[in-house]
Amino acid sequence: MKINRLNTIILLGLIGTIGILIAQLVWTYKAFTLEEKKFSQKVHIALLEVAREIYANNDHEISTKDLIQKVSDDYYVVNVNDDIDPAVLEHFLKTEFTKFNIITDFEYAIYNCESDDMMYGKYISVNDEANQKKEIQFEKYKDLVYYFAVRFPEEQSYLLSSLKFWIILSLVLMLILVIYVYSIYTLIQQKKYSELQRDFINNMTHEFKTPLSSILLASNSLSNQKTIQENEKLHTYAEIITQQGKKLNHHIEKILNVARNDEFAMALNPVPINLVDILGSVRNSIQTKHPEVQIQIESDPNLSILADEFHFTNVVQNLVDNSIKYSDETPEIKIQTQKVAKGIQLEFSDNGIGVSPKNLKFIFDKFYRVADKKSNEVTGFGLGLYYVKRIVQQHGWKISARNNVEKGLTISIFIPNK
């Protein structure tokens, strides 16, 4: 169901993005067509004014019949049917084009009826420092005697420059579409790898549990044999097999729980619990197994929080266990609580080896273990702190870690007021 919903969201997002991009491209094309039409109209009016000026300069009356012909997109012919002075024509063209805000390069030619050829005039550039362009052959126009032609070689570039903002916007939308598609592809790949990893872990741990159960049954049966109990050395070996089997079984259960919780969110049952009672219970349990460990609790005895008792107890247990494992001397752990403006700050400080600053931000990642001598000595899969972070986040709390000034590590959990 979740996969179908995700696929639907991805598909709708893709369709929406493509739709917006297509609409933008269509609008940009229509805007370009409109600009082209406006440019043609302005050129037509400007050339009409040039023709009027030429007629006025020659003291002749203007003829409005078939005066201006548009031969192609950038090529115009003006039938003045009167003598044309090149210098005067150039002056009028510059003046009228400037007046109508036609700021682009152009070139002109005048038809010479004596030689029956187009006499090239000049390339007029809006940039005075521009290099002289190569002369372009002007086509003759049939059935006209006195006429001149104007060509706009940079018309397309000029029109596109007027739509610069919308073209950039279209390119940005294309980039967004590419990023979206790439992100979706990456998301699907990551999801596939995550599922493969989870399936592998599930299969691997289940395959381990069957022979492990047989080992534990056999070791328990072996320990109860009279011959083994009478032989101290054999009894010790049988106890080691049982203890290590239980330890391995605990690790396998932890991996299974993490894999299961990655697929389905853990169901929490938050209830009001006394914070000191939980901390004291964990301390007593730890000191039963490790009498040498010093655990100091500084907290208001009446302080209570809203939390899942089982998972919160596991969080405290994991943090204290970590402090014991990563200590190269007698562990000293200090657990203290402090009421702050918006909640409760719960801190676990130890005198352990700490974590290098470059690795500190990764310690809550799944399967992450700091590569040092102590980590190699301590058994585990790098799931303890990952589990702690998951539980903390599902409660809506925040967790962070920092090295102490002198020695050791401090894990802080901020519990906001509900």
- Top mean pLDDT of 69-78, 246-255, 346-355 is at 346-355
For residues 50 and 82, the answer to whether their CB atoms sit within 8 Å is no
Distance, C-alpha 192 to centroid of its chain: 19
Res. 357 pLDDT band, cuts 50 70 90: confident
Distance CA 240, CA 219 (A): 9
Number of H helices, E strands in the chain: 11, 12
Task: Please report how many Cα atoms fall inside a 13 Å half-sphere around the Cα of residue 83, on the Cβ side.
Answer: 6
Residues paired with residue 46 on neighbouring β-strands, in sequence order = none
- Top mean pLDDT of 46-55, 135-144, 217-226 is at 46-55
Distance CA 374, CA 381 (A): 14
Q: What is the pLDDT of residue 122?
A: 81
Distance CA 10, CA 13 (A): 5
Task: Please report how many Cα atoms fall inside a 13 Å half-sphere around the Cα of residue 392, on the Cβ side.
Answer: 23
Of the candidate ranges 191-200, 250-259, 272-281, 384-393, the one whose mean pLDDT is the lowest? 250-259
Lookup: tokens for 348 = 């676990």
Q: What is the pLDDT of residue 1?
A: 44
Distance CA 264, CA 298 (A): 36
Instruction: Flag whether pLDDT at 259 surpasses 80.
Output: no
Instruction: Flag whether pLDDT at 211 surpasses 90.
Output: no
Res. 346 pLDDT band, cuts 50 70 90: very high
Residues paired with residue 118 on neighbouring β-strands, in sequence order = 111
Using CA atoms, how far residue 216 sits from 55, 149, 221, 226, 256, in Å, is 114, 101, 8, 18, 19
Q: Which residues contact 116 (CB under 8 A, 6 or more apart)?
A: 140
* Average of per-residue pLDDT across 79-89: 80
pLDDT tens string 164-210:
777 787 788 888 888 888 888 787 787 777 777 677 766 766 677 77
Q: Is the dihedral angle over the CA atoms 108, 111, 112, 116 positive or is it negative?
A: positive
For domain 270-416, the CATH class is alpha beta
Three-state secondary structure call for residue 136: coil
